[in-house]
């Protein structure tokens, strides 16, 4: 093809869509390549997106976006073998517009957002796998896709957590298992009225629940549940390193089946029908695992760059994907204005990210991956908390022990010291 695009974007996930939308809006020539049947067909999320950090980057988008429910209820369950401790939070602030967070199904949302980007003038070609980068004199000049040679001033690699593009450009090394988790989930169809009844919701209100402890058999990770309009996303995220190392050895899919059978969960999904099973790797290495973000003629955004973060109470990735796509587009827009697509020019991407919530978050939470690696969080503490609760609440046939000694018997001096050390680590998050 004679024409040279301003940008070729590899992958129509949220990073790619954010970039395509922004570039097209500014009138740049942008080609978005997606290997799936349609944008979203290869994309998986646990299920919730936080809008506040990205609302203003795409001001026209949110009103009609096909999101599921706005989350008004947060819950964390600490699960021991036979009991669990639950904390739930609901607040008026969660039920006030503009809502901060929504459950989301990506096959629906991404397809819709791609339409919006196309309307702005982006060219989308689905069912097209990018096979390689065109690299000439150390500079990325475009891509090869299905025998076609497509040339562009810049390539934005938004090809997901494994980013083969960033690897080919020498911006990313194949990471170690400790820097990644794997998430797998079922979509379970349930009548929306039933969802509302079971979770105590009204209308489009939604619930989010995280589960930790026994659900991963003590491995780094946890379970999640998000209510959609008429389905529930139920899944597990677990560290790949922990899965490999065993202790106890368990095949990943078994964890989800066990999770579904926990009485706390089983009653929530009873009568529902599983309609899809999906899985994906999640970058969890934090700041230290980020790739090099740009090179000569190339930028990396979204999961491809490592922009996803687990800080225990929240697991986030989609906002970082949309925002990094947005900033990558801004860098290309500036480069186009200067007619300079060199590495130095495109480095403005990194400085914009540094000034944004994206890198601020990654810096603020740079200690999280290490702190959360502590296995006591996933096995010891859940059991301990469960046991204390059991003893506090049990009324035996004979006399009941005094409350303070009941608790204290679990918390000897050595124990408290170990907890103090663990706490200090967690306090770095």
Partner 1 sequence: MSEIIGLKAKLGLDVFKHDKEPHIKIKPGMEKDPRLKRAILVCPAGLYEENQDGEVELTIDGCLECGTCRIACGTEVLEWYYPTGGAGVQFRFG
Partner 2 sequence: MNIVVAMKQIPDLQQIRIRNRKPVLDGVPSALGVIDKNALEAAVLLKEKQGGKVIVLSAGNEEVEETVKEALAAGADEAFLVLDDDLEGADGSTKAMVLAEAINKIEDVGLILFGEGSGDNYSGQVGSRVAELLGMPQAAYASSIEINDSSAVITRSLEDGDEILEVSLPVVVSVLGDINEPRIPSVTQILKAGRKPKEVLELEDLEINLTGLPEIMTVSNLAPETDRKQVKVASVEELLQALRTEGVI
The residues that touch partner 2, with contacts defined as CB under 8 A, are 1, 31, 33, 37-38, 108, 123, 125, 128, 145-148, 150, 189, 275
For residue 231, with 0-12 CB atoms within 10 Å meaning exposed, 13-18 middle and 19 or more buried, which class applies? buried
User: Which value, to the nearest 10 degrees, does the dihedral of the CA atoms of residues 416, 420, 422, 426 take?
Assistant: 140
- Longest Cα–Cα distance of the chain, Å, equals 89
- Nearest to partner 2 of 36, 46 (CB atom): 36
What does 1 bind: partner 2, partner 1, none (CB cut-off 5 to 8 Å by kind)?
A: partner 2
Q: CA-CA distance, 340 to 332, in Å (whole number)?
A: 9
What does 147 bind: partner 2, partner 1, none (CB cut-off 5 to 8 Å by kind)?
A: partner 2
Give, rounded to a whole angstrom, the gap between the first and last alpha carbons of the chain. Answer: 50
Among 17, 133, 187, 333, binds partner 1 (CB under 8 A): 187
Strands (E), 137-259: 139-145, 148-157, 180-189, 205-213, 221-227, 231-239
The single-letter DSSP state of residue 289 is G
By CB under 8 A, residue 76 contacts partner 1: no
Provide, rounded to whole angstroms, the least separation between the CB of residue 108 and partner 2: 7
Among 76, 85, 279, 287, binds partner 1 (CB under 8 A): 279
What does 36 bind: partner 1, partner 2, none (CB cut-off 5 to 8 Å by kind)?
A: partner 1
Q: CA-CA distance, 19 to 325, in Å (whole number)?
A: 4
- Nearest to partner 2 of 37, 136 (CB atom): 37
Cβ-Cβ contacts under 8 Å for 291 (sequence gap 6 or more): 163, 166, 171, 172, 300, 304, 305, 306
Cβ-contact 98, 55 below 8 angstroms = yes
By CB under 8 A, residue 290 contacts partner 1: no
Which is nearest to 331 in space by CA: 354, 364, 315, 313?
354
By CB under 8 A, residue 413 contacts partner 1: no
Among 100, 192, 274, 354, binds partner 1 (CB under 8 A): 274
What does 153 bind: partner 2, partner 1, none (CB cut-off 5 to 8 Å by kind)?
A: none
Instruction: Catalog residues that contact partner 1 under the rule CB under 8 A.
Output: 35-38, 40-45, 105-108, 110, 126-129, 145-146, 160-162, 164, 174-175, 177, 180, 182, 184, 186-188, 231, 240, 243-244, 246, 249-253, 257, 260-261, 266, 269-281
């Amino acid at each position: 093809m004679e024409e040279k695009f301003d940008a070729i974007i590899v992958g129509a996930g949220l990073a790619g869509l954010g970039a395509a939308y922004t570039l097209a809006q500014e009138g740049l020539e942008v080609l978005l390549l997606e290997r799936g049947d349609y944008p979203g067909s290869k994309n998986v999320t646990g299920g919730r997106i936080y809008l506040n950090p990205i609302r203003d980057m795409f001001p026209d988008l949110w009103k009609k976006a096909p999101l599921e429910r706005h989350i008004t209820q947060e819950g964390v369950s600490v699960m021991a073998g036979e009991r669990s401790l639950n904390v739930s939070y609901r607040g008026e602030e969660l039920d006030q517009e503009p809502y901060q967070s929504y459950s989301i199904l990506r096959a629906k949302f991404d397809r819709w957002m791609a339409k919006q980007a196309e309307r702005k003038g982006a060219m989308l070609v689905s069912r097209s796998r990018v096979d390689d980068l065109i690299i000439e004199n150390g500079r990325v000049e475009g891509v090869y896709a299905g025998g076609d040679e497509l040339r562009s001033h810049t390539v934005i690699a938004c090809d997901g957590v494994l980013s083969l593009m960033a690897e080919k450009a020498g911006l990313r090394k194949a990471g170690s298992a400790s820097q990644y988790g794997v998430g797998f989930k079922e979509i379970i169809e349930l009548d929306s009225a039933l969802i509302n009844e079971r979770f105590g919701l009204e209308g489009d209100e939604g619930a989010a629940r995280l589960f930790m402890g026994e659900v991963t058999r003590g491995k780094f990770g946890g379970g999640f549940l998000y209510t959609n309009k008429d389905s529930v996303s139920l899944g597990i995220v677990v560290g790949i390193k922990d899965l490999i190392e065993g202790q106890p050895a368990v095949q990943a899919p078994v964890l989800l089946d066990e999770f579904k059978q926990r009485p706390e969960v089983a009653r929530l999904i009873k009568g529902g029908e599983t309609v899809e099973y999906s899985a994906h790797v999640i970058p969890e290495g934090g700041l230290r695992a980020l790739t090099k973000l740009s090179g000569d003629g190339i930028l990396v955004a979204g999961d491809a760059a490592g922009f996803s973060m687990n800080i225990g109470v929240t697991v986030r990735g989609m906002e970082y994907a949309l925002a990094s796509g947005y900033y990558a587009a801004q860098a290309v827009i500036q480069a186009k204005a200067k007619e300079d697509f060199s590495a130095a020019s495109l480095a403005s991407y990194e400085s914009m990210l540094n000034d944004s919530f994206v890198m601020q978050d990654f810096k603020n939470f740079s200690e999280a991956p290490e702190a959360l690696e502590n296995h006591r969080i996933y096995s010891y503490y859940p059991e301990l908390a469960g046991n204390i609760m059991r003893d506090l609440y049990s009324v035996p046939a004979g006399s009941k022990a005094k409350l303070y000694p009941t608790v204290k018997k679990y918390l000897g001096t050595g124990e408290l010291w170990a907890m103090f050390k663990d706490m200090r680590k967690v306090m770095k998050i």
